[in-house]
Amino acid sequence: MNISYLGPLQRAIARARRILFTPFRLETWLVMGFAAFLSEWLSGGWGHAGWERKFGRGHFPGGHIPGPHLHDLLPALVWGPLLAGLILVAIVVGVVLLWLGSRGKFVFLEDVALGRAAIVEPWNRTAPLGNSLFLWKLGFAIVSGLVLLGIVFATFGTALLGWLGFHERVVMAPPIIGGIVLAGFAGLLAAFVGLMLDDFVVPLMYRHGLRANQAWRRFLPVFREHLGQFVLYALFVLVLSVAVGAAVAAVGFATCCVGFLLLLMPYVGQVVLLPLHVAYRALGPEFLAQFGPGFQVFASEPPVPVIAPPPPPAMPLPGAPD
């Protein structure tokens, strides 16, 4: 099977151009920009902050180490529950945003597939698919987090045992380096799974009305058969992302960073970069269509974008008074 990478990209760009520019409608950009905001921005991650605690040994007259006083414990009694509450709020907000982003994936995908700008109707109709995707992504996030915690505990536990055994810092380096490499590999694997999910499994869910696990079962046989092609697709997307990022950065600096401010604004950034979002949303399904009719998500030609017109005013019945 001859698998192309530039062909799907060209078709995705043509689809984006047809939907957004032939003809150009501001309403299409505004509505589809909001769909892209639901799908792309709300599905993004957050940075993580590192927390450090420093331990030391003090020398006190007579070898006496004073115990904690009440005024020493008060900050912990105040900041401990506050920190726990903030972490709980962050988790709740993260889960809600993950649910919104999962539902938005199908809204934006349908807008790109059908060449129309709609939010409410696909949001309601694809709710079971979005909820299934949300549960799968939530479970995957929990498992990934537990794996990362396991790597961290194993790394620092091994390093600590080495320190206690030899009292030399150099013995801590191998387990720490190994833990960093293992965590990096786990992160790359999780990112690869996320790419396969968003670009191929989500379109299969939409195309066949499947739950997330059912779509994975349909996708995995062709994935195993063409593993090399899908790995090359991930590298192709990485190269495209770097090229697009460099171009966006160049435009941002050329506009004296005004462009950066626009792109960082939620929803506004999605509207400004809507052609890129539409083309990228179309790239995965266009690539997947090469593996047979059962993997074809889009029609051969994207239709002209349609925004449902408002209903006509009610006409008076014949003979009815004005």
Structure tokens at 105: 């994936």
Give the chain's end-to-end CA distance (angstroms, integer): 69
Q: Which of 180, 210, 194, 28 is nearest to 119 (CA)?
A: 28
- What is the residue-level pLDDT of the chain in tens, covering all 322 positions? 789 999 999 999 999 999 999 889 999 999 999 999 998 776 654 333 333 333 343 443 444 444 445 555 556 566 677 788 888 899 999 999 999 999 999 999 999 999 989 999 999 999 999 999 999 999 999 999 999 999 988 888 887 777 676 666 666 788 888 889 999 999 999 999 999 999 999 999 999 999 999 999 999 999 999 999 999 999 999 999 999 999 988 988 888 888 888 888 888 989 999 999 999 999 999 999 999 998 999 875 544 444 444 444 444 444 444 4
Structure tokens at 220: 């995995």
HEC profile of 101-135: HHHHHHHHHHHHHHCECCCHHHHHHCHHHHHHHHH
Taking the mean position of all CA atoms in its chain, how far away is CA 101?
8
List residues bridging with 306 in a β-sheet.
116
DSSP state of 306: B
Q: How buried is residue 15: exposed, middle or buried, by Cβ count under 10 Å (0-12/13-18/19+)?
A: buried
Alpha-carbon distances of 9 from 116, 283, 313, rounded to whole Å: 20, 6, 44
Q: How buried is residue 215: exposed, middle or buried, by Cβ count under 10 Å (0-12/13-18/19+)?
A: buried
Structure tokens at 312: 């006509």
* Dist CA 199 CA 216 (whole Å): 12
Helix (H) / strand (E) element for 260: namely: helix 258-264
- Residue 191: count other Cβ atoms within 10 Å of its Cβ: 12
DSSP state of 56: -
The CA radius of gyration of the chain, in Å to the nearest whole number, is: 26
What is the rounded (10 degree) CA torsion for 83, 136, 206, 229?
A: 110
- Give the pLDDT score at 76: 56
- Give the pLDDT score at 122: 95
- Give the pLDDT score at 178: 87
Most distant pair of Cα atoms in the chain: their distance: 109
* Dist CA 78 CA 23 (whole Å): 60
What is the rounded (10 degree) CA torsion for 53, 55, 60, 65?
A: 80
The residues near 316 (Cβ < 8 Å, ≥ 6 apart) are 322
Are 129 and 103 in contact by the 8 Å Cβ rule? The answer is no
Structure tokens at 232: 């090359």
What global pTM score does this model have?
A: 0.79
Structure tokens at 70: 């009440």
Q: How buried is residue 111: exposed, middle or buried, by Cβ count under 10 Å (0-12/13-18/19+)?
A: buried
The residues near 82 (Cβ < 8 Å, ≥ 6 apart) are none
Are 116 and 35 in contact by the 8 Å Cβ rule? The answer is no
The residues near 155 (Cβ < 8 Å, ≥ 6 apart) are 175, 176, 178, 179, 180, 182, 183
* Dist CA 125 CA 118 (whole Å): 12
- Give the pLDDT score at 300: 58
